[in-house]
Structure 1
Amino acid sequence: MSKPQQDLLHLLEERGFIHQTTDRDGLNEALNSGPVTAYLGFDATADSLHVGHLQGLMLMRWMQRAGHPILLLIGGATTRIGDPSFRDSSRPVLNDAQIAQNMSGIAKAFTTYLELGDTDGRARVVDNAEWLDGLGYLSFLNTVGRHFSINRLLTFDAIRNRLDREHSLSFEEFGYTLLQAYDFVELAHRYGCTLQLGGADQWANIINGVELSRRQNGPQLYGLTMPLLTTSDGKKMGKSAQGAVWLNSDKLSAYDFWQFWRNCDDRDVGRFLALFTELPMDEVRRLGALQGAELNEAKIVLANETTRLGHGEAAQRDAEAAARALFSEGTQSDTLPKVEASRAALQKGLTLTDLLVETGLQSSRSAVRRLAEGGGLRIDDVQIQNPDEPLSQALEGSRLSLGKKRHFQVVLVD
């Protein structure tokens, strides 16, 4: 393992990763004195991570590069409950098969951004079902529950806000924070983990883990939270007008991933370059300060760097080439994301409305019609005014455009 990097906290602060720390001086000393094992938790609620998780993955990437071991905790057990933090309702209940499938999909993002393995310097994936599934209720109350008062738990913003809005909060959700505290202590015992990372909404949960270790005479634990990210136009990071911006290529093409960054708000360019690329900060500041048309080149750098990290250099080059060909030269590119249409369905009178709804490119038939009314539907640059008319049989290879920024190549299948 390489020697831990000096002034890691300064680097992370400069790039915008730090919101709060439990003991900054103590954590800084620990990070500069030797390897500090850190963990970040993910509940398996979907079969891919999305851009909203990328901040945490990049933070762990910097820590791994600095020589600190990483634990990636997937909540195989806690996913069955769901973190109630700042939610108005309970999560849908998932069965074991769904959770296992989601865990497999989530692990794909880990391998993309981090070096995984059981040897020094590599990140390890762990599942809290290993210790929570066999934990008896009475034992849990004795070892964990007795260290926390209901009075204090009710003061946490995540709990209080839910109750103030008179939304139901189940007993199992109420106990989620104690399970997360127990996770931290258990990871400290099993792997020598002394640092928990999380979003700003996890602050209370992290504090509980630090406090539980202290009350059980365990090791000194630390917490570090990241700012909750929203785009400058107020949207939650990880979402777009078309839905979640997934990290896995089987959920979102490299081209669409590239386009997400290329089309970001001008005000977000500098911040995103600092968080989601590994460019030196002097270059980040230079690019972020560009104005007018020059800022578009900074956005292309952002799109290229994020896509190269997430999908590889070849996919990045293809995505950029497809975008430049489409928007700069007006030519067709076979590197566009594909949308499949059935030949049999075409013969039976498949409409564009049918195609867009069935493939999930639009949420409803009325959404398709609204897009057409606004002039946003085109096939090979020909505006489609009535999406309910049967499509041409000669659709193979056509370019389907949804608005100015979403473009697909139509592929016919048997």
Structure 2
Amino acid sequence: MIISKNNEINLIEVLKNRNIINQITDKNNLKNIITEKKIHLYCGFDPTADSLHIGHLIPLIVLRYFQKLGHKPIILLGGATGLIGDPSFKLQERKKQPIYLINEWINKISLQIKLFLDFNCGSNSALIVNNYDWFSKMNVLFFLKKIGKYFCVNQMMNKESIKKRINKNTQGISFTEFSYNLLQSYDFAYLNKYFNVILQIGGSDQWGHIVSGIDLIKKIHKQQVFGLTHKLITKNDGTKFGKTENKTIWLDSFKTSPYDFFQFWLNIHDNLVYNFLKMFTSIEISTIEDLQKSNDNSIKKVSAQNLLAEHMTYLVHGENALESAKKITDYIFYKKLNYLSKNDFHMLLTNGINNIILKNKNYSLQEILILSKLAKSRSHAKNMIESNSIYINNKKRSNLLYFFTEEDKIFNHFTLLCRGKKNFCLLYWK
């Protein structure tokens, strides 16, 4: 841990060394302020689904770092801005959702956030606010006169996220989305005035909005405030992990089971895993670097992925879910189906791997591969069977005309279907 001259933890340097910080305004001044006194800071989350996903973990972890040092984190949930939709680096306008649905999502997201921060620790207890509370009372004249006059359209149009949309002849950008920057900027100004917030944090794609908020506060409140962005979580190919991806990794255990969550981290590429250990965990940097050096110089590697998977699953889902995910992984991947009890299979069905429920009738292997989504089409199913990549209860099946039999049903109800080494589906026969 990095200690400053007055024996205070230098949080900015801690976050920098963990490769979390992307950009920061007036770094030295902010560093001095947060070591000399306790501040209020905030991060905003728009409710665009009924659950947060792994892309939201870093800002929550950053807020927790600040709170542990006595600072007060405020979470702004965008009941109003969620109705608008942030256009930043989006190829097209978000689908607009009704307010009742937005409120349902806010309630669910609030419960998730409470797992990461302390809401009962005195003066620095975390707080959740909803920007619908102030925007719903604002009329259009106030908006244009008190907020709009401080924004230059020329400058707004030069923002990279806006330019990309304006230059698209087919879609363009609506005035609704164009005004999003003003709304988020006012959020910062409102929280600065009524909650003494002096720091906003967000992903690197929020930098333009954060700087606009800083400028607005300087103009209307004559006060210096700060912004800090964290690096976005990206895959090995550089694309962002998020809910627009084909398979989103949600924090809600009903949307992404603890087993699937555990498997996601277990399969992180070697090029990313050590950086993720620095960003997501509190493991000492020197320990992570020693692990990487040891693995680089050894044929028999210690699994950094396993360390990451255990830490993240425990963080999000708790000890019981972690133990369940480890047990399932061990039994399935190391072909120990004989060790699974009937109750274990029921646990798999309710909390574990991908599964489908089938009627007791004759199904061909090709049909089930398609139903289970392990194959995209009948030709795809045929290719996988012929290439010896399909297993039923850990037994290879290469017969194109194979039909499931009673012998395939463990405890008369369960069949484990596998494509390759990592793609599973549990069949439950009624």
Aligned-partner Cα distance in 2 for 1:367–1:201: 41
Q: Match of 2:70?
A: 67
Contact conserved, 2:360 with 2:429, CA < 8 A, in 1?
no
Q: Match of 1:169?
A: 173
- AA aligned to 2:102 is I
Aligned-partner Cα distance in 2 for 1:104–1:27: 33
Note the alpha carbon deviations across 1:301-331, whole angstroms, 9 max, x for none.
1111111111112222222232223334534
Residue among 306, 309, 318 paired with 2:324: 318
Structure 1's unaligned 5+ residue stretches are: none
Aligned-partner Cα distance in 2 for 1:82–1:385: 49
Contact conserved, 1:7 with 1:32, CA < 8 A, in 2?
yes
Contact conserved, 2:260 with 2:353, CA < 8 A, in 1?
no
Q: Match of 1:369?
A: 381
The alignment yields a C-alpha RMSD, in angstroms, of: 2.9
The 5 Å alignment of 1:375-394 reads 375-383=388-396, 391-392=404-405, 394=409
Aligned-partner Cα distance in 2 for 1:392–1:242: 34
Structure 2's unaligned 5+ residue stretches are: 1-5
Residue among 157, 163, 184 paired with 1:160: 163
Q: Match of 2:3?
A: none
Q: Match of 2:292?
A: 288
The 5 Å alignment of 1:175-324 reads 175-238=179-242, 243-289=247-293, 290-291=295-296, 294-324=300-330
User: What TM-score comes out, normalization by structure 2 length?
Assistant: 0.86
Q: How far did residue 118 of structure 1 move? A: 8.4
Q: How far did residue 100 of structure 1 move? A: 2.0
Contact conserved, 2:24 with 2:229, CA < 8 A, in 1?
yes
Q: Match of 2:47?
A: 44
Q: Highest Rg: 1 or 2? A: 2
Aligned-partner Cα distance in 1 for 2:25–2:421: 46
Q: Match of 2:139?
A: 136
Aligned-partner Cα distance in 2 for 1:70–1:370: 55
CA change 1:384–1:177 in 2 (3 A) is farther
Aligned-partner Cα distance in 1 for 2:221–2:85: 29
Q: Match of 2:421?
A: 404
Contact conserved, 1:16 with 1:275, CA < 8 A, in 2?
yes
Aligned-partner Cα distance in 2 for 1:300–1:195: 35
Greater Cα offset, 185-194 or 364-373: 364-373
CA change 1:388–1:131 in 2 (3 A) is farther
Q: How far did residue 186 of structure 1 move? A: 0.7
CA change 1:189–1:314 in 2 (3 A) is same
Aligned-partner Cα distance in 2 for 1:362–1:265: 22
- Give the SS at the match of 2:21: coil
Residue among 82, 93, 100 paired with 2:96: 93
Note the alpha carbon deviations across 1:86-140, whole angstroms, 9 max, x for none.
1110001111232122223322331222223584232211111011111111101
Contact conserved, 2:261 with 2:313, CA < 8 A, in 1?
yes
CA change 1:158–1:341 in 2 (3 A) is closer
Q: How far did residue 351 of structure 1 move? A: 6.3
Contact conserved, 1:4 with 1:68, CA < 8 A, in 2?
no
- Give the SS at the match of 2:199: strand
Aligned-partner Cα distance in 2 for 1:25–1:14: 16
- AA aligned to 2:260 is D
Q: How far did residue 188 of structure 1 move? A: 1.2
Contact conserved, 1:4 with 1:34, CA < 8 A, in 2?
no
CA change 1:367–1:206 in 2 (3 A) is farther
- AA aligned to 2:284 is P
CA change 1:74–1:241 in 2 (3 A) is closer
- AA aligned to 2:263 is Q
Q: How far did residue 364 of structure 1 move? A: 5.1
Q: How far did residue 365 of structure 1 move? A: 4.6
Greater Cα offset, 101-110 or 384-393: 384-393
- Give the SS at the match of 1:169: coil
Greater Cα offset, 138-147 or 392-401: 392-401
Greater Cα offset, 308-317 or 257-266: 308-317
- Give the SS at the match of 2:414: coil
